[in-house]
Amino acid sequence: MPSAPHATWSLANHVASQRSRDAAGGIAAELDLRRPDRGLATTTRDGHRDHLLGVGVAAARAHESAPLTDHWLRGSDLTAVYEPADPRQLRATAMWRIHAARGDVACWEVVVSAQTSLLESDAALAVISDIEADEVRWSTPLPCWQPLDARTPLPDEATFILARRSGTSILIAMHPADRRRIDVRHAAGRARIECWLFPSAIEKGVLLRSRVMAAVGPRPRDEAWAAETASAFTASPPLLTT
Protein backbone atom coordinates (compact mmCIF):
# COMPACT_ATOMS: atom_id res chain seq x y z
CA MET A 1 0.00 0.00 0.00
CA PRO A 2 1.41 3.43 -0.89
CA SER A 3 2.13 5.85 1.92
CA ALA A 4 0.22 9.10 2.02
CA PRO A 5 1.68 11.72 -0.37
CA HIS A 6 0.58 14.72 1.70
CA ALA A 7 -0.54 13.61 5.18
CA THR A 8 2.41 13.83 7.55
CA TRP A 9 3.24 13.70 11.24
CA SER A 10 4.18 16.74 13.26
CA LEU A 11 6.46 16.11 16.23
CA ALA A 12 6.68 18.11 19.46
CA ASN A 13 9.09 16.64 22.02
CA HIS A 14 8.03 12.98 22.15
CA VAL A 15 4.44 13.42 20.93
CA ALA A 16 3.55 13.04 17.26
CA SER A 17 0.22 14.09 15.81
CA GLN A 18 -1.66 13.89 12.53
CA ARG A 19 -4.11 16.73 12.05
CA SER A 20 -7.74 15.73 11.52
CA ARG A 21 -7.98 17.64 8.25
CA ASP A 22 -5.19 15.47 6.83
CA ALA A 23 -7.04 12.19 7.44
CA ALA A 24 -10.05 10.57 5.87
CA GLY A 25 -13.20 11.06 7.91
CA GLY A 26 -11.61 13.91 9.87
CA ILE A 27 -9.90 11.50 12.27
CA ALA A 28 -7.21 13.03 14.46
CA ALA A 29 -4.34 10.79 15.62
CA GLU A 30 -1.74 11.31 18.36
CA LEU A 31 1.15 9.11 19.46
CA ASP A 32 3.26 9.46 22.61
CA LEU A 33 6.53 7.72 21.81
CA ARG A 34 7.17 7.23 25.53
CA ARG A 35 4.06 5.01 25.68
CA PRO A 36 4.30 2.86 22.55
CA ASP A 37 1.95 0.28 24.06
CA ARG A 38 -0.92 2.80 23.80
CA GLY A 39 -0.31 3.37 20.10
CA LEU A 40 -2.27 5.89 18.06
CA ALA A 41 -4.90 7.67 20.13
CA THR A 42 -7.67 8.43 17.62
CA THR A 43 -11.04 10.17 17.85
CA THR A 44 -13.67 9.92 15.14
CA ARG A 45 -16.10 12.70 14.30
CA ASP A 46 -18.88 10.82 16.08
CA GLY A 47 -16.84 10.63 19.29
CA HIS A 48 -15.43 7.09 19.29
CA ARG A 49 -12.06 6.92 21.06
CA ASP A 50 -9.61 4.17 20.20
CA HIS A 51 -5.96 3.19 20.61
CA LEU A 52 -4.53 1.58 17.48
CA LEU A 53 -1.27 -0.23 16.70
CA GLY A 54 0.42 0.03 20.07
CA VAL A 55 3.67 -1.92 20.41
CA GLY A 56 4.10 -3.90 23.63
CA VAL A 57 7.41 -2.42 24.73
CA ALA A 58 6.74 -1.78 28.39
CA ALA A 59 8.75 0.01 31.04
CA ALA A 60 10.17 -1.92 33.97
CA ARG A 61 7.77 -0.13 36.33
CA ALA A 62 4.28 1.19 35.73
CA HIS A 63 5.16 4.82 36.49
CA GLU A 64 8.18 4.87 34.16
CA SER A 65 8.36 5.65 30.45
CA ALA A 66 9.33 3.02 27.91
CA PRO A 67 13.09 2.87 27.18
CA LEU A 68 13.06 5.11 24.10
CA THR A 69 16.65 5.47 22.83
CA ASP A 70 16.15 7.20 19.46
CA HIS A 71 13.42 8.53 17.20
CA TRP A 72 13.11 10.39 13.93
CA LEU A 73 10.50 11.69 11.53
CA ARG A 74 10.52 11.38 7.74
CA GLY A 75 7.34 12.57 6.04
CA SER A 76 4.58 10.04 6.68
CA ASP A 77 6.94 7.68 8.58
CA LEU A 78 7.62 8.02 12.31
CA THR A 79 10.31 5.69 13.70
CA ALA A 80 11.29 4.95 17.31
CA VAL A 81 13.87 2.61 18.83
CA TYR A 82 13.38 0.91 22.21
CA GLU A 83 16.00 -1.03 24.19
CA PRO A 84 14.53 -2.46 27.42
CA ALA A 85 17.07 -3.49 30.05
CA ASP A 86 15.47 -6.89 30.63
CA PRO A 87 16.73 -10.48 30.35
CA ARG A 88 15.66 -10.75 26.69
CA GLN A 89 17.94 -7.88 25.57
CA LEU A 90 15.51 -7.32 22.72
CA ARG A 91 15.95 -4.16 20.69
CA ALA A 92 12.63 -3.20 19.07
CA THR A 93 12.17 -0.64 16.31
CA ALA A 94 8.68 0.56 15.42
CA MET A 95 7.80 2.62 12.36
CA TRP A 96 4.28 4.05 12.27
CA ARG A 97 3.28 5.01 8.73
CA ILE A 98 0.34 7.07 7.45
CA HIS A 99 -1.14 5.55 4.30
CA ALA A 100 -3.00 7.37 1.58
CA ALA A 101 -6.72 7.43 2.33
CA ARG A 102 -8.87 5.04 0.32
CA GLY A 103 -11.92 7.21 -0.22
CA ASP A 104 -13.33 7.85 3.25
CA VAL A 105 -11.19 5.12 4.85
CA ALA A 106 -8.16 6.25 6.92
CA CYS A 107 -5.21 3.82 7.11
CA TRP A 108 -2.08 3.42 9.24
CA GLU A 109 0.55 0.71 9.45
CA VAL A 110 3.19 -0.21 12.01
CA VAL A 111 6.33 -2.06 10.93
CA VAL A 112 8.05 -3.74 13.90
CA SER A 113 11.66 -4.99 13.89
CA ALA A 114 13.45 -7.03 16.55
CA GLN A 115 17.11 -7.80 17.27
CA THR A 116 19.02 -9.16 20.26
CA SER A 117 22.58 -8.90 21.57
CA LEU A 118 22.30 -12.38 23.13
CA LEU A 119 23.19 -15.62 21.36
CA GLU A 120 19.48 -16.48 21.45
CA SER A 121 16.41 -14.79 22.92
CA ASP A 122 12.62 -14.83 22.98
CA ALA A 123 11.44 -12.37 20.30
CA ALA A 124 7.67 -12.33 20.90
CA LEU A 125 6.09 -8.87 20.69
CA ALA A 126 2.45 -7.82 20.54
CA VAL A 127 0.84 -5.07 18.48
CA ILE A 128 -2.11 -3.95 20.60
CA SER A 129 -5.33 -2.16 19.65
CA ASP A 130 -8.05 -1.18 22.14
CA ILE A 131 -11.26 -0.29 20.32
CA GLU A 132 -14.85 0.68 21.04
CA ALA A 133 -16.83 -2.22 19.55
CA ASP A 134 -20.38 -3.54 19.68
CA GLU A 135 -19.58 -6.50 17.43
CA VAL A 136 -16.40 -8.24 16.25
CA ARG A 137 -15.88 -10.33 13.12
CA TRP A 138 -12.87 -12.13 11.69
CA SER A 139 -11.71 -13.36 8.30
CA THR A 140 -9.09 -15.42 6.49
CA PRO A 141 -6.92 -14.12 3.61
CA LEU A 142 -9.89 -14.81 1.32
CA PRO A 143 -12.25 -12.36 3.03
CA CYS A 144 -15.36 -14.07 4.34
CA TRP A 145 -16.40 -12.40 7.59
CA GLN A 146 -17.44 -14.60 10.52
CA PRO A 147 -18.86 -13.49 13.90
CA LEU A 148 -16.42 -13.84 16.77
CA ASP A 149 -17.35 -16.64 19.17
CA ALA A 150 -15.88 -15.75 22.56
CA ARG A 151 -15.97 -19.42 23.56
CA THR A 152 -13.82 -20.56 20.62
CA PRO A 153 -10.22 -19.46 19.93
CA LEU A 154 -9.55 -17.83 16.60
CA PRO A 155 -8.28 -20.36 14.03
CA ASP A 156 -4.66 -20.17 12.92
CA GLU A 157 -5.68 -18.91 9.49
CA ALA A 158 -7.41 -15.80 10.90
CA THR A 159 -5.63 -12.68 9.61
CA PHE A 160 -8.20 -9.86 9.69
CA ILE A 161 -10.41 -8.49 12.48
CA LEU A 162 -13.36 -6.14 11.90
CA ALA A 163 -14.69 -4.25 14.93
CA ARG A 164 -18.08 -2.60 14.38
CA ARG A 165 -20.03 0.10 16.20
CA SER A 166 -22.41 2.92 15.33
CA GLY A 167 -21.09 5.17 12.58
CA THR A 168 -17.68 3.56 11.96
CA SER A 169 -15.86 0.24 11.85
CA ILE A 170 -12.18 -0.62 12.32
CA LEU A 171 -10.11 -3.18 10.43
CA ILE A 172 -7.02 -4.68 12.05
CA ALA A 173 -4.97 -6.73 9.56
CA MET A 174 -1.91 -8.93 9.91
CA HIS A 175 -0.07 -9.86 6.75
CA PRO A 176 -0.90 -13.47 5.77
CA ALA A 177 2.76 -14.18 4.90
CA ASP A 178 3.90 -13.43 8.46
CA ARG A 179 3.86 -15.99 11.25
CA ARG A 180 1.30 -14.73 13.70
CA ARG A 181 -1.23 -15.24 16.46
CA ILE A 182 -4.25 -13.03 17.12
CA ASP A 183 -5.97 -12.83 20.50
CA VAL A 184 -9.26 -10.92 20.86
CA ARG A 185 -11.07 -10.04 24.08
CA HIS A 186 -14.45 -8.39 23.67
CA ALA A 187 -16.44 -7.19 26.69
CA ALA A 188 -18.36 -4.14 27.94
CA GLY A 189 -18.37 -2.39 24.58
CA ARG A 190 -14.62 -2.61 23.94
CA ALA A 191 -12.37 -5.04 22.10
CA ARG A 192 -8.68 -5.61 22.85
CA ILE A 193 -6.90 -7.08 19.84
CA GLU A 194 -3.38 -8.43 20.33
CA CYS A 195 -1.46 -9.34 17.19
CA TRP A 196 1.51 -11.45 18.30
CA LEU A 197 4.65 -11.30 16.17
CA PHE A 198 7.85 -13.38 16.07
CA PRO A 199 6.67 -16.63 17.72
CA SER A 200 10.08 -18.31 17.48
CA ALA A 201 13.39 -17.50 19.16
CA ILE A 202 15.75 -14.95 17.62
CA GLU A 203 19.52 -15.36 17.30
CA LYS A 204 22.23 -12.72 17.52
CA GLY A 205 22.80 -11.05 14.14
CA VAL A 206 19.27 -11.80 12.89
CA LEU A 207 16.74 -9.07 12.15
CA LEU A 208 13.04 -9.92 12.26
CA ARG A 209 10.36 -7.68 10.75
CA SER A 210 6.60 -7.85 10.64
CA ARG A 211 3.70 -5.44 10.09
CA VAL A 212 0.14 -4.76 11.13
CA MET A 213 -2.36 -2.36 9.56
CA ALA A 214 -5.35 -0.49 10.98
CA ALA A 215 -8.09 1.23 8.97
CA VAL A 216 -11.12 3.23 10.07
CA GLY A 217 -14.08 3.68 7.76
CA PRO A 218 -17.87 4.02 7.66
CA ARG A 219 -20.07 1.28 9.11
CA PRO A 220 -22.19 1.03 5.93
CA ARG A 221 -20.52 -1.43 3.51
CA ASP A 222 -17.78 -2.09 6.05
CA GLU A 223 -17.25 -5.69 4.99
CA ALA A 224 -16.67 -4.53 1.40
CA TRP A 225 -14.18 -1.71 2.11
CA ALA A 226 -12.44 -3.83 4.76
CA ALA A 227 -11.99 -6.67 2.26
CA GLU A 228 -10.63 -4.25 -0.39
CA THR A 229 -8.24 -2.63 2.09
CA ALA A 230 -7.05 -5.98 3.48
CA SER A 231 -6.50 -7.33 -0.05
CA ALA A 232 -4.38 -4.29 -0.96
CA PHE A 233 -2.34 -4.79 2.22
CA THR A 234 -1.87 -8.48 1.39
CA ALA A 235 -0.62 -7.57 -2.10
CA SER A 236 1.95 -5.05 -0.82
CA PRO A 237 5.65 -5.89 -1.38
CA PRO A 238 7.34 -8.11 1.22
CA LEU A 239 9.56 -6.59 3.90
CA LEU A 240 13.31 -7.00 3.70
CA THR A 241 14.82 -9.25 6.40
CA THR A 242 18.32 -10.47 7.14
DSSP conformation letters of 207-220: -EEEEEEEEEEEST
- Position 114 pLDDT exceeds 80: yes
Contact 31, 51 (CB under 8 A): no
- Position 108 pLDDT exceeds 50: yes
> Coil, strand, or helix at residue 21?
helix
- Position 21 pLDDT exceeds 60: no
Average pLDDT over every residue of 54-60: 78
Average pLDDT over every residue of 2-6: 54
Q: Could you read off the pLDDT of 156-206 as tens digits, one per residue?
A: 889 999 999 999 999 999 998 887 799 999 999 999 999 999 988 889 999
pTM: 0.91
Residue ranges of alpha helices (H) inside the chain are 222-234
Which pLDDT belongs to residue 65?
59
Q: How far is CA 82 from CA 10, 30, 207, in A?
A: 20, 19, 15
If you classify domain 10-234 with CATH, what class do you get?
A: mainly beta
